[in-house]
Structure 1
Amino acid sequence: MEDRDWKIIKVLSAEKNITKAAQVMYMSQPALTARLRQIEQEFGVQIVHRSSKGIQFTPAGELLVEMAEEFIDRMEQIKDKVRHFSNENAGTLVIGASNYFTIYTLPQLLHSFKDQYPNTDFTIITDWSRNIFNIVYAQKAHVGFVSVDYGGVKNIHCLFEEPICVSYYKPFSLADLPKLPLILYQSDYMIQSRIDKWWRRNLSVPPIVGMRVNNLVTCKEMVQYGLGYAFLPRRMTQNIESIYTMEISDADNQKITRKTWLIYNEQSINLSIVQTFVDFIKNTRV
C-alpha cells in the first residue's frame, strides 16, 4: 500500500463515486479503477460493490476506510513533529471553529499569521461550538474558537465580547416585536436560553416565529431582505446601514453578550507552531 492508496480509499468513502473521486485525486477514472483492483488483490478481499448509482463499501472496505483515516491523521502528526525539529515556525495547524467565527473573523487572522509565518498550512474544521470543544479535547484539532464556555478545558482565553442585538430592516420599538415575524436560527442552547429569559421578562406574549434557518449567516440575509427580525451578534450587522439594532440586557441591567474563546489542549501546545499561533492570537486585537 502506498500513501496515495489510503487517500484513494478515504476520498472514495467521501464521494461514493469513482468518477468524482478520480477528479479529486487528479487521476483518470481507469487509473483509479486499476489502483482499486490492485488494493483489493493485495488484501485478498472485495472493498466496494459497484453499481450504476455509485459504490458501496463492503464490511472489509469499511474497516479499510477507518484505517485510512487513522493512517492519514497519524502521518500528518508525524510530519508536524518532524517539521518542529527542522523549522520551528512551519507545519500544519488544525483549527476547529464555529461557523460564525470562521466567516467573520478567522480569514483575517489566518491572513495576518500567514504573512509572518509563510511556511504554515491550515486545516479548518467548522462545527458547532459544543462539538469544537469535543474535537479539541480529543486532540483532533490543535486549537479551537468557540462562542460558549462549556467548561472542562483548562487552557481557554477570551478573545472578545460583543452585544447580542434585536436586528430588523427598519426602525422598531420593543412593543413592535410581538407583532413581527421572528427568524430563528440553530444556536447553542446556553445563548438561546438567555435570549428566551429576556423575552419572558420584557414581553407577555410569545414571539411569532415566521422562519427557521440553520445558521447565522442565512438568518442575517433574511433580516436584511425584510423577512423578519432576529437576535444577532453586533459585528454581523455593524457595517450594514439597512439593519437597525437594539441591545438587550438581563435582569441586572447587564448587556446580554456573546463571547468568543480560544481553546487548546496541553499536548498541542508542545508544538512550536501551535505555541506561536496561540501567542499571536492572544496578542492580536480581534
Structure 2
Amino acid sequence: MDDRNWLILHLLYSQKNITKTAQLLFLTQPALTKRLMQIEAEFGVKIVNRGIKGVRFTPEGELLAKRAGQILTSIRDIREEVSNLQQSVAGTLRLGVSNFFAKYKLPGLLKLFSEQYPLVDFHVETGLSKDVLQKVYNHDVHIGFVRGDYSWHDQKRRLFAEKVLLVSRTETNLAQLPELPRIDYETDQMFKSLVDNWWAENYSKPPLISMKVDRGDTCKEMVLNGLGYAILPSMFVSDIVDLYKMELRSPENEPVLRNTWMFYHEESLEKNVVKAFIQFMEGIDLEGSEEKDES
C-alpha cells in the first residue's frame, strides 16, 4: 500500500469524518470513498461503518489506522535520516509553535533562517502552549516554542520575558478594579494561573468578568473600544500608544513576567537541520528585541 493510503487511514481515524478528511487531503468525497474501498479490498476487511455522526472504525480498521500512524512516522524518520547522511542542512524542520509566537515572532525568524539555509522547508503546527509541549514530548515536532514556565527536563532555552500588563482605554484605579468590567480571552492554563494568583494576592473579591472572547487580539480590540479593561502580555499592545498600561507587580514589587521558551530533545541535535536551527536561535537576541518593542 502506498504512503497516501496510509495517510488517508491516519487522518480519517483522527477526524472520524469523511468530509473533513477529504478537505485536508484536497480530495473530493467520492475520490476519498473510492480510495477507502480500494484499501478495504486490498486487506479483505471492512474498515469503517458510516453513521449520522460520522464514521466508526471496525476492530480491523482500528488496527490498520494505528499501524498507519506508526508507518507514517517510520517513513518520515527514514527520510530525515537519509537527508542527514548528505551532511548538508536540508530537509524539513518540524516546529510546534504557540499561536501568539507564530503570529508575532516566527515569520521573521523563518525568513532569516531561510536566507542562510535555502534548502530547508518547514512544517509548522500551531496551538496552545500545553498542546505544543505535548507535541515536542511525543517527537511530533523537532522544536517547540512555548509560553509559560512549563516543566521540561530535556534541552531548553529561555527566549524572552514579557511583562504582564493591565490595559484599558483610560487611566484605571487599582483599588476600584473588582467593580470594573474585565474582558477575558481564551488562553492556556499557565497564564490564567499567573493572573489568578496575582488577583488573589491583591483582592478578596472575584473580578467582574463582563465578556469572554476567543483570542487575545479580539480582547485587545474590545479594550480599544472602551468596553472594559484586560490583563494581557505586553507584546499584544507594544505597538499601541493610545492605551493606558500598568505593569502588574508582586507583593515584593517585582514585575509579573511571562517567559517564552524553546524546548527540544538533545537527541534531535543529531539532525543537521535541527542543529543548524538551534545554533541560529542562539545568535538571536529576542530578549533585546522585546525590550525595544516595549519602549
Question: Is this contact kept in 1: 2:96–2:143, CA < 8 A?
Answer: yes
Structure 1 residues 190-240: Cα deviation after superposition (integer angstroms, max 9, x where no partner) = 443443343344445332111233443333233233332111111110112
Q: Is residue 91–residue 119 contact of structure 2 (8 Å, CA) maintained in 1?
A: yes
C-alpha change, 1:234 and 1:22, in structure 2 (3 Å) is closer
The number of residues matched between the two structures is 286
1:112-170 per-position Cα deviation (integer Å, ceiling 9, x unaligned): 21222122122223233233333322322211111223333231111111110001123
When the two chains are superposed, the root-mean-square deviation of aligned CA atoms in Å is: 2.4
Contact 1:170 1:242 survives alignment (8 Å): no
**Partner Cα distance (2:199, 2:17) in 1:** 49
Going from structure 1 to structure 2, the CA distance change for 1:67 and 1:225 (only over 3 Å counts) comes to farther
Task: Give TM-score scaled by structure 1 length.
Answer: 0.88
C-alpha displacement of 1:19: 5.3
**Does 2:86 align with 1:86?**
yes
Give percent identity, aligned residues only.
Answer: 42
Shift in CA distance, 8/246, structure 1 to aligned 2, threshold 3 Å: same
1: CA distance between counterparts of 2:192 and 2:254? 16
Matches of 1:205 and 1:31, distance apart in 2: 58
What is the match of residue 114 of structure 2?
114
User: Please, which runs of 5 or more residues in structure 2 have no aligned partner?
Assistant: 287-295
Matched residues in 2 for 1:55 and 1:194: separation? 41
Consecutive unaligned residues in structure 1, runs of 5 or more: none
SS of aligned partner of 1:92: strand
Amino acid at match of 2:217: V
Deviates more, 1:226-235 or 1:121-130: 121-130
The C-alpha deviation readout for 1:10-51, integer Å capped at 9, x for no partner, is 343355454554454344554433332221111111112235
Following superposition, the deviation at residue 111 of structure 1 comes to 2.1
Alpha-carbon distance in structure 2 between the residues aligned to 1:112 and 1:126? 20
Q: Is 1:105 matched with 2:116?
A: no
Q: Is the 8 A contact 1:96 1:126 kept in 2?
A: yes
Q: Could you say what secondary structure the match of 2:266 adopts? A: coil
Distance 1:197 1:99 in 2: 23
**Quick check: 1:173 aligned with 2:173?**
yes
Structure 2 equivalent of residue 50 of structure 1: 50
2: CA distance, partners of 1:214 / 1:93? 29
Looking at structure 1, the residues matched to 209 and 29 of structure 2 have their Cα atoms a distance apart, in angstroms, of 49
* Counterpart-to-counterpart distance in 2, 1:21 and 1:192: 34
The question of whether the paired residues in 1 share the 8 Å contact of 2:152 and 2:263 is answered with: no
